[in-house]
Amino acid sequence: MSLVEMSGIRKSFYGVEVLHGVNFQLKAGTVHALMGENGAGKSTLMKALAGVHRFDGGVIKIQGKPADIYSPSDARSLGVAMIQQELSPVEELSVAENIFLGREPVKMGFVDYKQLYRQTEKLLDSLNLNMNPRTKMKALPMAEQQMVEIAKAISQNAHIVIMDEPTSSITNREVESLFRMIADMKARGTGIIYISHKMDEIFRVADEITVLRDGGNVGTWKKGEIDTEQLICSMVGRELKSQFPKVEVTIGEPILEVRNLTLAHQYEDISFTLHRGEILGFVGLIGSGRTELMNSLFGITQPEKGKILLEGEEVTFKSPRDAVTHGIAYVTEDRKGKGLVLPMSICHNTTLPSLRKFTKSGLLQRRAEGNAVTRQVSSLNIKTASTLLPVKSLSGGNQQKVVLAKWMMTEPKIIIFDEPTRGIDVGSKAEIYKIMCDYAAQGNAVILVSSEMPEAMGMSDRILVLSNHRFSGELRRSEFSEEAIVQMQFKHMISRRNDDDRSDVK
Amino acid sequence: MSQLDPGVQIKRRTMSRRQFVSTFGSLIGLILLIIIMYALKPNFLSTSNIRNILRISSINGLLAVGMTFVVLTGGIDLSVGAVMGCAGMYSAYFAQTSMNKHWMVAVLVGVGMGLIIGTFNGVCVSYFRVPPFVGTLGSMSIAKGLTFLLTDAKPIPSLSTEFKFLGGGNIGGWLPTAIVIMLVVLAICFTLLYKTRYGRYIFAVGGNLNAAHVSGINTKRIICSVYIISSVLAALAGIITSARVTSGVTSTGDGYETNAIAMVVIGGTSLAGGRGRLWGTIIGILLLQCLTNGLDMLGVNTYYQMIIKGFVVIGAVMLDGLNAED
């Protein structure tokens, strides 16, 4: 018998139907991967199961019984737990308080903290998690917060656990412990629905794979019945020739020179030169200072020492505004936090940094604006019913393309991409890579910050490696190798290993 | 549109009932109110009563329109009532017949007070990061103190005829000056908010301050400016009020800030910022003024009126909340 049986699920947003009768089944003690491009409807389908969205049509059966799911608490009482892509713990509370939030053990009307910590310890031990229940959530790295979230789900007796891109912001080692945990959960008979775009993970962890496309089923396969090529093909409905459409371009004269740039505790003594036509990769572990450095190149923070030369002239950026007027664009790592104004429309988001172009004697030229946005939206292949819809109605990948569209409108000379394809499907990824290459080939320059090794190596002409806030090496395209990069990433970390790598401390 | 994704089916883009209610709820409420009042008291729609409602709406409305700008950025301005009183007193002081000054001097002094307090508010909130609630609460007290200091809390009588025309006069013998001022202000504000970059930036700052900053917007300047707009409009309301009651009174504007906030909120502007509409505020203004006027005509006790108005404000926000779930 199936643990979960969803049939004919329909859902519309803003009058646009995004799920056209989707079927999905999950068996106990298995991992079922759910795959598809952005906007294929994976997250929407799972949010219907978790009670976040009320679906418009169809039936959900849990352990054979029709289930009425109207709210997240309905779903929870039926044993469904969802680990969201973006976690939202109560940061000021401890691990234990987060796990038992709303169900704290009580003695005479007061929270029984002794009991709370004892129970949490027992729970964490049973999951082989080595962490202190008294630690505040905000002190934990993302991966451990995720583990806490999973522990919480298990403590609530969830036997259906949905994981939406659980590995999008954690390191390889942390992925291993996540997989161990998944294996434990399977052994207990828990069913896991696993949403991810990472092929290697899917093939390691999934027992079954269901692919959605444009809000409908493409098919369901058992492990071993399908390979990567076929899987990609089924998701996009076309063959992707190469994931990285990198073309050789002649590298032009220097456009950006950075000399001995320093900001204490963020990055130290960084120098490099960026040339026209070049895609320059920046690689480093999370916390190595990559994003901090980019923030200063864009005027969000100001360096203490060193200088920045743009086309041979020294510049200082007091704010992002200065950087934008000098022709620099920044696709930030944090799409919702710094990239988009979620309540505003796609159109208004797209023109936000370039609005000056659509102003004539102080007044906005709304027709010209609309036309330009429509052109940009179609050239980047953003899937939407109308550019007047709020940008939050789009799927993650399409939102990211809106961020891209918005910067393309400013016609920049340099674009900084910080993790541009995090949590994005293969189809959109390939499209973003293509845009990046075309843009560089036109004599512009790209800085690409990436945690994904294949991406950095596939796209860059040169890779600079940062380690522990410092520069640790440079590789030309012919010298690229994963081993060399990994070694450079750890170059300045040997002496402080114990500080940075908590999991080694027992 | 041609670039649409063929895989996404587009249904008829009708509004759900919820969306309809949340978008037009206040407008429907206003129309119903007018119909009911007309049925009970046909005098409600007499020319003189309409003129009366609009004149009072204009004064309150100036505060609410300014407040809309502030609330759209996610802030709040508690000082508008006090600024109104302050500007009213200082302009009345210079409009006394004994002073023998041109009426423009009095107006400029009043507007100047608004400008100063508004700039103070704006600088506190944007550059010194004082929470808007606290910053404007402080300047409310400051403005009130300045008001009392001027004459030791005594009223200012006998204002010049030209000055009094601003509040009590009718242009062409029938159109109250206050209404004309309000219409001009509205035209300017609609243009600012919907036809200029500045207006777009206000929505962006309120919707996501960080994203607006990264997009190259001078967010501090935007935030600072909305407090100036709010205070200047409040000052204008104070000047008109002094002119209308033909004297400067220290209690002018007391409690008006809550009315202004209520009007903005009834109009569907979110206190969280980034979401709202100016025409909604206009409906909010008219709804509250029609209600007050109607209940007065029906002879409803003021204390009951307060209770009714409280429920109206809450009800309007409840309707608006229906749509916020998605």
pLDDT in tens, B96-115: 999 889 999 999 999 999 99
- CB atoms B207 and A344 under 8 Å: yes
The answer to whether A128 touches A180, Cβ cutoff 8 Å, is yes
Does the pLDDT of residue B283 top 90, yes or no? Answer: yes
Give the residue on A whose Cα is nearest the Cα of B203: A344
Decide if B211 and A385 are in contact by the 8 Å CB cutoff.
Answer: no
Q: Which residues of A touch B2 (CB under 8 A)?
A: 378
- CATH architecture, domain A240-327+412-506: 3-Layer(aba) Sandwich (3.40)
Residue in chain A closest to B211 (alpha carbons) equals A338
Query: For position B160, what pLDDT does the model report?
Result: 93
Q: Using CA coordinates, name the residue in chain B closest to A329.
A: B215
The reply to whether A2-236 and A240-327+412-506 are identical in fold is yes
Quick one: closest CA in A to B13, which residue? A15
Within 10 Å of residue B39's Cβ, how many Cβ atoms? 9
Over residues A242-275, the pLDDT tens digits come to 567 777 788 899 999 999 999 988 899 999 999 9
d(CA B172, CA B251): 31
Q: Dig out the tokens for B136 from the structure.
A: 């404007």
For residues B178 and B170, give the distance between their C-alpha atoms in angstroms, rounded to a whole number: 9
d(CA A493, CA A481): 20
CB B242 within 8 A of CB B159: yes
Locate the chain B residue with the closest alpha carbon to A334. Answer: B211
Domain ranges of chain A: 2-236, 240-327+412-506, 338-411
User: Which amino acid, residue B298?
Assistant: L
Here the ipTM equals 0.87
How far is CA A411 from each of CA A342, A439, B116, rounded to the nearest angstrom?
Answer: 23, 10, 40
For residue A351, the chain B residues in CB contact (below 8 A) are 200
Distance separating alpha carbons of residues B177 and B174, to the nearest angstrom: 9
The 3-state DSSP class for residue A269 equals strand
User: Is B26 among the domain residues?
Assistant: no
- Show the tokens assigned to B146: 């300045």
Under an 8 A CB cutoff, do A215 and B7 touch?
A: yes
| B13 band by pLDDT with thresholds 50, 70 and 90 | very low
Query: Residues B131-164, buried b or exposed e (16+ Cβ, 10 A)?
Result: ebeebbbbbbebbbebbeebeeeeebeebbeebb
Assign residue B261 the CATH number of its domain. Answer: 1.10.3470
Q: In this predicted model, what pLDDT tens digit does every residue of B224-248 receive, in sequence order?
A: 999 999 999 999 999 999 999 999 9
Query: pLDDT tens-digit profile of A66-83?
Result: 988 888 888 988 999 888
Residue contact A352–B326, C-beta within 8 A: no
Is residue B2 in some structural domain?
A: no
Could you give the CA distance from residue B80 to residue B256 in angstroms, rounded to a whole number?
7
Residue of A nearest to B14 (CA): A15
CA-based nearest distance B67→chain A, Å: 20
- pLDDT tens track for B156-172: 998 999 999 999 889 88
User: Which chain B residues are within 8 Å of A382, Cβ to Cβ?
Assistant: 3
- Do B211 and A341 make contact, defined as CB atoms within 8 angstroms? yes
Find the CB nearest B214 among A338, A351, A382: A338
A-chain residues within 8 Å CB-CB of B201?
355
pLDDT at residue A130 greater than cutoff 90: no
pLDDT given for residue A496 in this prediction: 42
Question: Residue A341 is nearest to which of B13, B14, B207, comparing CB atoms?
Answer: B207
Provide the domain limits for residue B246: 57-315
Q: What is the pLDDT of residues A282-307, one digit of tens each?
A: 998 767 889 999 999 999 999 999 99
Question: What is the CATH code for A2-236?
Answer: 3.40.50.300
Which residue in B1, B2, B3 has the most chain A C-beta atoms within 10 A of its own C-beta, making it the best mutation to test that interface? B3
| Chain A residues close to B13, C-beta within 8 Å | 14-15, 385
A213 vs B7: CB contact, 8 Å cut-off? yes
Residue A357, exposed/middle/buried by CB under 10 A (0-12, 13-18, 19+)? Answer: middle
Residue B87 structure tokens: 């500007």
Of A15, A332, A378, the CB nearest to B214: A332
Note whether B214 contacts A300, CB cutoff 8 Å.
Answer: yes
Residue A85's nearest CA partner among A140, A133, A145 is A145
Contact B214 A378 (CB under 8 A): no
pLDDT at B18: 65
Give the pLDDT confidence of A34-72 residue by residue, as tens digits.
988 766 888 889 999 999 888 888 999 999 899 888 888
Q: How confident is the model at residue B316 (pLDDT cuts 50, 70, 90)?
A: confident
Neighbour tally for A315: CB within 10 Å? 15
**Any domain includes B39:** no
Domains in chain B, number = 1
CB distance B215–A377 less than 8 Å? no
- Structure tokens that stand for B227 in this block: 């407090």
Interface of B with A (CB under 8 A): 1-5, 7-14, 191, 195-197, 200-201, 203-204, 207-208, 210-218, 274-275, 326
Instruction: Classify residue B27: in a domain, yes or no.
Output: no
Q: Does B49 fall in a domain?
A: no
Minimal CA separation from B208 to chain A, in Å:
5
Q: Which of A341, A364, A367, A417 to mutate to test the interface with B (most CBs of B within 10 A)?
A: A341
* Residue B248 DSSP label: B
Task: Give the nearest partner residue to B208 out of A340, A362, A382, using CB atoms.
Answer: A340
